[in-house]
A and B are shown apart, each in its own frame.
Chain A
Amino acid sequence: MWYLRQFALAWRLLADRPGRFALSMTGVAFAVVIMFTELGFLNGVTDSSINLAARVRSDLVVVHPQQEHLKSGVEYPLFYLQQVRDVPGVAVARAVYTSANYWANPQDGSRNRILIIGADIDDPMLDIPEIAAHRAELRGTDTVLFDQRARAELGAVTPGVRSRLAGHPVRVAGLFSLGPNFAYEGHVFLSTRNFMRLPNQRPDDVDLGLVRVAPGEDIETVRQRIRDRMGDKVEVLTARELAQRERDVTTRKAPVGIVFGLGLVVGFAIGTVVCYQILFNEVSDHLPQFAMLKAIGHPPRSLTVLVLHEALILSLGGFAAGLSAGGVLYHLLEQQTALQMDLTPPRALLVLVLTSGMCLLAGRLALKKVQAADPADLF
């Protein structure tokens, strides 16, 4: 009850001057938008970077031990995968081939970098339902599925469109959704057979080996058997670990991830400074009143709670405004960049926590001013 009374008082102090209150909210909202933007880009980069890894639906993934991420292009011989297939407990082991190459815009002929994925269309072990839907067409020669979320620069691509992939003529049999990332403008999927028809592709250079364990087999046990059998020739990951590896590379090693991660920190710092300035002014304006409250016997704790409640109100108000603005901004950025900008509840919650932390930190700093208020100066 006492806390509620302090909260109500904090609200009245802030809302007493609506113009200034709105300006203060705007200041905090500005910091919130910065954080949302940086977090959006960071998530956009990471989400996009794992867009392929996130579609893997195998129990285990066999990669080259020196492969840091899917775009590093480190391959291993097909017979390694054949050896894996012979490990007890392994039901299926299939190769997935990838190649970074160029797609010719069917309208203007311009070339844009794209990732080509070749896999077994009968059992791709990838969560791309369009493969099954277009399996018959994909069996045809030089047919592909085109990423309908690819950047606009790749042209208006619809089923039946003909273009050139790695300089090789292809026909679009259907569309699927994966989206671009910072390395590629989009993706193209085709059967292993058609993949090998592209220039400079060899069946022996495997990028990913997707493994399904036999029914009733423990995945960890099978993984250990593969490791025992293959030694350090390959690395064996789960699909989740593969996605996490891609995410880690982007957020911790790739410059873009670091830049946007730092941007988030900078946004937090800017917000703290802005919020501190707002609260400092607020506290300064009420300093004689705070000193009076101290004088008549309100304990220092009540003033601490009062100022922190003011900080909390600013954070909530600023967050609400920033969330609205952030939602609009995400939509615009998604349209402009084709990056995946998902404003999920956990991400909004993260920004809320950061905003509250930012304002409470600022409030804590502003409290020094309150603590310095000397009631003796009132006389």
Chain B
Amino acid sequence: MSLPPPREVAVEIAGVNHHFGKGEARKQVLFDNSLVIRRGEIVIMTGPSGSGKTTLLTLIGTLRGIQEGSIRINGQELAGLAPAAQVQMRRNIGFIFQAHNLLNALTARQNVRMAIELTDAPRARYDQIANEMLGAVGLSDRASYKPRNLSGGQRQRVAIARALVNKPRLILADEPTAALDKDSGANVVRLLRELANNHGTTVMIVTHDARIINVADRIVNMVDGHIVSDVRIKETMIICAILKKCSVFKEMSPSDLTDIAQKMAEERFTAGENIIRAGDVGDKFYVIASGETDIIAETATGTRAVAKLGEGDFFGEVALLKDQPRNATVSARGDVTVYSLSKENFLAAVRSHKSFEDQMSAMLFTRG
């Protein structure tokens, strides 16, 4: 497993606060939230009711005005956006609401067409486009049905078809699979995944449906208006797999490893750049997510590369455990992505483990 190259930022949230009500009834519901989501990511937002995740979603969807802070969608700042520009912005967003909100007077095809009409697609192709999208959600044979003649799940799939038909760059979904059975839900999730992979569509889903968690690239958890965790699933799995190889962490539970992984920050280096330098005070522990590095040390024959480290390797723990300066330089051979853990978090993690002393001894033994 390796990390994909970083894609451009799709959604950038910075210092967002939001209040409801006025005067004495004014209540803050979002507190200084910041989040960066890249193109093609599927982000699942979880949290208890009233935690602010839906409010945040409506702000991103330009359905509410931003009071404090900044939200940028594909580089476009939403704060202070004129109403007409907000409408234009929303045309690039696919909304999937918990309530389908289909027009009962229209057929499934006509409902989907309501979204197509907002694009530059040739009018002659409206029906064809709508039919293709309805086919993609498994409703080819229901295109001419009115919502009253469809089941709850089918109606929701029509609403999803309406949201996806224009292949929007951003999809905001509120419990999109709540009304769907297992197969239909899986079908929708597959569609979202395809859009994310093939078109770089960014998807944000508010859900309590554990069945679709595995589609997520990230899981953002909100509590009381704060983003309390932002788990990058793939990265976390990579980091955990590497940590598992490290004797210091290998006895830890997946939960503990995930906690550590979340505290690690991504750092990128280019060829020839030093990641750590011999003699410096050790302040971080590193795992290599991608790329190769040289370990450069003083030898009897001079300073030279004595070893190579690659994807899945780790380094920097000895200086932290012994509280000594770095004994070698680690330099990037090409583009390298590492995840670093601060000394403080590293030691806290190690000490919290009951077999700390044993682990330390074992590690020091294996490293010589």
Q: Which residues of A contact B (CB under 8 A)?
A: 5, 9, 12-13, 15-16, 286, 288-289, 291-300, 374-376, 378-379
Contact = CB atoms under 8 A, between A and B. Distances in A.
A286 B61 CA distance: 22
A17 to B, nearest CB: 8
B117 A289 contact: no
Contact of A289 (B58, B91, B98, B103): B103
B235 interface: no
B104 A378 contact: no
Nearest to B89: A297
B118 A289 contact: no
Contact of A13 (B88, B90, B103): B103
B101 A289 contact: yes
A376 B117 CA distance: 22
Interface in B75-126: 83-84, 87-88, 90-91, 93, 95, 97-99, 101-106, 110, 114-115, 117-118
Residues of A contacting B: mostly: helix
B101 A12 contact: no
B contact residues, range: 20 to 34
Given A15-B105, A16-B105, A296-B114, A288 B58 contact: no
Nearest to B118: A297
10 contacts: A5-B117, A12-B105, A12-B106, A295-B61, A296-B114, A296-B162, A297-B87, A379-B57, A379-B61, A379-B174
A44 B102 CA distance: 51
Given A16-B104, A296-B114, A296-B162, A378 B91 contact: no
B64 interface: yes
A250 B193 CA distance: 78
A296 B115 contact: yes
Contacts of A298: 87, 114, 118
A292 B100 CA distance: 9
Contact of A299 (B87, B93, B206): B87
Nearest to B53: A379
Given A295-B61, A296-B115, A379 B105 contact: no
B63 interface: yes
A375 B88 CA distance: 15
Contacts of A9: 105-106
B118 A292 contact: no
Contacts of A379: 54, 57-58, 61, 63, 97-98, 174, 206
Given A376-B64, A379-B57, A297 B90 contact: yes
Given A13-B103, A16-B105, A293 B58 contact: no
Nearest to A287: B101
Nearest to B104: A16
A289 B158 CA distance: 14
B224 to A, nearest CB: 19
A291 B99 CA distance: 12
A378 B101 contact: yes
Given A5-B117, A376-B58, A379-B174, A296 B63 contact: no
Given A296-B115, A296-B118, A298-B118, A375 B105 contact: no
A15 B90 CA distance: 30
A5 B106 CA distance: 13
A346 B193 CA distance: 64
Nearest to B61: A295
A376 B57 CA distance: 9
A295 B90 contact: yes
A103 B110 CA distance: 72
B95 A296 contact: yes
Instruction: Across the A-B interface, give the 3 residue pairs with the lowest CB-CB distance, nearest first.
Output: A297-B91, A16-B105, A292-B101
Contact of A296 (B58, B90, B174, B206): B90
Contacts of B115: 296
